[in-house]
Amino acid sequence: ITPPYFYSNVFSTRALSLGTKISTKKTILNSLHLLDTLNNQQKSQVSLFVDTLLEWNERMNLTAVTERCAVMERHVEDSLALLPIIENAFSKHCSVIENAKLKVVDVGSGAGLPGVILAIARPDWQVTLIESLQKRCCFMEHVVEVSGVSNIQIVRMRAEDAGQNPQFREMYDVAVARAVAEMRVLAEYCLPLVRVGGLFVAAKGFDPQEEVENAKEAIRLMGAFMLQLCS
């Protein structure tokens, strides 16, 4: 199950990207194909992440999904489905930058989704995971340590504070968010983190149209515009 994603690109200060979720044979096959493109080390790191997530989930609330196959489908494959969306949108609509060198921030990362999976799949990307809860940060730190993924930075901070912090404001090429907040609030959290000409990608629910409509004015005021809804 992978989301169709909705993007938008920022005018003068940042870029925005938004998303929705749909279940189609095509999107499932696309994400499975992306899993097949990973090398053996990356596949091992993904497997270790899933095993660790399920183990830690027995003593803390990291995910409502408790079966390994469901974690692979609903978390790993959905996260991998962001890759072509980011790379295609950047190559077509955003300012020129090597995809291999992207700086990505995962806002409200929770159990490290999608950020950890993106970092594993694209080791040349620099991925920052922003999460406010200490226990979830501890989990992500443990995953990074045992998996050997070296291109991840974990920041314990509230999402609304990160965008006002000069250390993070407008410092990223791409912001991603999954299951964090409704669109208007999410845009206010994420857009300040994205540089001029960057991109914000949000994975949303099955029918996000009303939510997106309610967010349009806030998005416009922050200098962004809707780019695309895709699957």
Residue ranges covered by each domain of the chain = 5-230
- Using CA atoms, how far residue 13 sits from 106, 145, 214, in Å, is 19, 35, 21
- Looking at residue 109, its amino acid is S
Contact 16, 219 (CB under 8 A): yes
Say whether pLDDT at 138 is over 50: yes
How many C-alpha atoms does 140 have within 13 Å on its Cβ side? Answer: 30
CA-CA distance, 147 to 120, in Å (whole number)? 9
Give residue-wise pLDDT tens across range 145-188: 999 999 999 999 999 999 999 999 999 999 999 877 788 888 89
Architecture of domain 5-230: 3-Layer(aba) Sandwich (3.40)
- Report the predicted TM-score, pTM, of the whole model to 2 decimal places: 0.84
What's the one-letter identity of residue 108? G
Spatial separation of the C-alpha atoms in residues 122 and 160, rounded to whole Å: 27
pLDDT value at position 209? 74
Cα dihedral sign, 209-16-159-144 = positive
pLDDT tens-digit profile of 4-61?
Answer: 344 444 433 343 444 433 333 333 344 557 888 999 999 999 999 999 999 999 999 9
> What pLDDT digit, counting tens, does each position of 57-96 carry?
999 999 999 999 999 988 999 899 999 888 887 776 655 5
| Predicted local distance difference test score (pLDDT) of residue 211 | 78
- Residues 223 and 10: their CA atoms lie apart, in Å, by 6
